[in-house]
Amino acid sequence: MPKDTLFLDMRTGIDEGQMAQAAAILRQGGLVAFPTETVYGLGANALDEVAVAGIFQAKGRPQDNPLIVHVAEQEQLYDLVQSVPSCARDLIGRFWPGPLSLIFKKAPQVPLRTTGGLDTVAIRMPDHPVALKLIAEAQVPVAAPSANVSGRPSPTTAAHVHRDLAGRIDCIIDGGPTGIGVESTVLDLTSTPPMVLRPGGVTVEELREILGPVDLDPALEEERTVRIARSPGMKYRHYAPVARVHLVLDRPGVEKRVEALAGELAKAGRRVAVMAPAESIPLYTNGQLLLEPMGQVQKPVTIAANLYGLLRKMDHLGVDDIVVQGIEEKGLGLAIMNRLRKAAGGRIVS
Ligand code: TXA
Ligand code: MG
């Protein structure tokens, strides 16, 4: 049965009456999509198994993929976890509210449905006034994955959420475009040294400044060894538009390789777009290619902010293939390239 999805416009400010309505929906077990500083989230009461099951159903998400629990105040953390190591206090002091999800041993009251069957739970405090107010008013911790259909690029506007989930969820709050544009960093504090499971808005370099040694999940390293000849399209795709994504890694002469691959595809009759840093755009001369500047390589924040919207736009334009010029994998570039590798699903050219 399709649901009536209530659309609340809070782009110019928080409306108290509408906010009370959205908070009541959450308290009663409903699903509310809301803006955060990273991407839009699809929220439900994290302590209500039935409500949480609704998230998995609406997104078509595999049951064993755990959710991040969002809080509005630091005190909420202590009811959700078994203990808080001292390094967590330092991280929270520095990065909350903000794009850092921390993994702890979970308290018994957190349902296994929320944690995908794990005995750990990821928690973060989003840095967005609408998200903070919603969680505070609902008076419950809010489990929220990105508010997209599973496998699609994450939503950075309410229109993206609407396209994916209207009729499947109870409410969408429009807070305008999100700022950061890629998801939070996921850091596991139950391993020693702490381990980054997903690079995101807080960089590994920033974490090392506070923590000293920080490991990267070996799966992230493995991802970097995937080559086009070995598994074209065989790997699990994620953050992916309908168009095929080809990722050309950042090496000297990268523009030449991008143009050669894009040109070949265009010659074969496919509609091809090139996504490249603005600084590189003038180096492309093949008139058959649709050129999309994706932000400035000197300011990776501008690339992160544009990334998912551009991938969705390519589908809208009916593009068959997107050839993406990769960037350096440091700072925020690590998160950007992680998402692009997943969107490419193994179509990677080095
Ligand atoms: O920025 C974000 O984190 C956004 C906004 C809405 O807050 N949320 C988000 O959620 O990206 P989602 O569900 O799309 O991604 C959550 C990630 C997944 O990779 C999941 O596997 C991991 O966090 N995760 C969550 N809990 C975990 C746990 N207990 N152990 C290991 N990984 C966990
Ligand atoms: Mg997601």
Decide whether any atom of ligand 1 lies within 6 Å of the 120 Cβ. Answer: yes
| For the CA of 55, the nearest ligand | 1
- The mean per-residue pLDDT over the stretch 338-343 comes to 96
Q: Is the CB of 186 under 6 A from ligand 1?
A: yes
- Percent of the chain at pLDDT above 90? 91
Please tell me if the CB atom of residue 41 comes closer than 6 angstroms to any atom of ligand 1: yes
β-pairing, 244-248 vs 290-293, is: unpaired
Ligand 1 center to residue 7 CA distance, Å? 25
Ligand 1 close to Cβ of residue 278 (< 6 A) = no
Is residue 183 lining ligand 1, measured as CB closer than 6 Å?
A: yes
Q: Ligand 1 centroid to 322 CA: how many Å? A: 26
Cα gap 328→318, rounded to integer Å: 29
Q: Does residue 37's CB lie within 6 angstroms of at least one atom of ligand 1?
A: no
Q: What is the DSSP string of 26-43?
A: HHTT--EEE--SSS-EEE
- Percent of the chain that is helix, strand, coil (3-state, to 5): 35, 20, 45
Mean pLDDT of 309-336: 97
> Tokens standing for 128?
């967005």
In the structure, what pLDDT confidence band is assigned to residue 291 with cuts at 50, 70 and 90?
A: very high
Tell whether ligand 1 has an atom less than 6 A from the beta carbon of residue 65.
Answer: yes
- The contacts found for 73-82 with CB under 8 angstroms, 24 or more apart, are 73/125, 73/136, 74/125, 76/141, 77/123, 79/107, 79/109, 79/141, 80/46, 80/104, 80/106, 80/107, 80/109, 80/110, 80/121, 80/123, 80/141, 81/105, 81/106, 81/107, 81/121, 81/123, 82/106, 82/107
pLDDT tens digit sequence for 30-67: 999 999 999 999 999 999 999 999 999 999 999 999 99
Report the pLDDT value the prediction gives residue 213, as an integer from 0 to 100.
98
Q: Which atom of ligand 1 is nearest to the CA of 154?
A: 14
Element of type H or E holding 37: none
Rounded average pLDDT over 157-169: 98
pLDDT, one tens digit per residue, over 306-320 is 999 999 999 999 999
194 — pLDDT class (breaks 50, 70, 90)? very high
What whole-number distance in Å separates Cα of residue 59 and Cα of residue 143? 13
Q: Ligand 1: which residue has its CA nearest to atom 20?
A: 66
> Tokens 């699609």 sit at which residue?
152
Q: Does the CB atom of residue 98 touch ligand 1 within 6 A? A: no
122 lines ligand 1 (CB under 6 A): yes
Instruction: Check residue 227 and give its pLDDT.
Output: 53
Protein residue with least CA distance to atom 15, ligand 1: 145
Ligand with an atom nearest the CA of residue 62: 1
Ligand 1 geometric centre to CA of 145 (Å):
6
How confident is the model at residue 231, as a pLDDT? 41
Q: Which ligand is nearest to the CA of 239?
A: 2
Residue 131, pLDDT > 90, answer: yes
Task: Output the pLDDT for position 236.
Answer: 58
99 pLDDT above the threshold of 80: yes
Centre of ligand 1 from the C-alpha of residue 262, in Å: 34
Of 61-65, 239-243, 276-280, 283-287, which gets the smallest average pLDDT?
Answer: 239-243
Residue 68 CB–ligand 1 contact under 6 Å: yes
Q: What is the mean pLDDT of the chain?
A: 95
pLDDT of residue 350: 85
**What separation in Å is there between the alpha carbon of 66 and the centre of ligand 1?**
7
Q: How confident is the model at residue 153 (pLDDT cuts 50, 70, 90)?
A: very high
pLDDT band, residue 296 (cuts 50/70/90): very high
- Ligand closest to Cα of 154 equals 2
- Calculate how far, in angstroms, residue 128's C-alpha sits from the geometric centre of ligand 2: 18
Query: For 206-253, what is each residue's pLDDT tens digit?
Result: 999 999 999 999 999 888 876 544 444 444 578 888 999 999 999 999
C-alpha of residue 164 to centroid of ligand 2, in Å: 13
